Structure formats: C-alpha cells, structure tokens
Amino acid sequence: MAKAKITFTDIDQTVNVPAGTRVIEVSEKIGAGIIYGCREGDCGTCMMHVEEGWNNLTEPSVLEEKVLRENMASRHDRLACQAQILGDCRVKPA
C-alpha cells in the first residue's frame, strides 16, 4: 500500500502512514496538539493549518467547506477529522 509521511510541526513528530489514513487517526496517537470535539466534521474544533502538502490531502467535501467558512478558517485550513492523507504533508493546530 502507498505510504505517506505526516509531520505535526507543533511537536515536531513525523509518522509514516498508509495512504488514505485520516489525520485524526494519527494525531491523537502521537499526541499532537490538534483537538477534537464532534469527530464528524460538524463543530470545527479540529481545524488544522496545512503548512505543506495541501494537495496531498483528500478534497474537502461541500459540508467541510461550509463548516470551515462558518468557523472563519483561513487559507489552507482543514478539518483534521475529515482530511485523509494521500501524500507527504506538514500540519499544525490552526
């Protein structure tokens, strides 16, 4: 299976993961600072900033776009409970 590297820059830790893994599945295990509320793409608590590899995450759904807008996301912010890792990227809590 294709592998990808995700780096959590707030704690400077990198994890090798199978492509398709959701960020939430990694960040909690490694103890990164991204936090979660509803865990289903509704509340915006898990907003993260993608520093590199924006295109290496799955596209946001219409619903995710809406939640990001409502929570005044800036450019290159995503929901960590929704985004799946397709290739190398670097993220931190928004």
Comparison of 17 and 79: residue with beta carbon closer to ligand FES? 79
* 12 lies in the binding site for other proteins (CB under 8 A): yes
Residues 6+ apart with CB under 8 A from 41: 61, 63, 64, 67, 79, 81, 82
Phi/psi zone of residue 47: left (φ > 0), alpha (ψ -120 to 50 degrees), beta? beta
* 26 lies in the binding site for other proteins (CB under 8 A): yes
Q: Which of 37, 59, 66, 76 binds ligand FES (CB under 6 A)?
A: 37
Question: Which residues make up the interface to ligand FES (CB under 6 A)?
Answer: 36-39, 41-46, 67, 79, 81
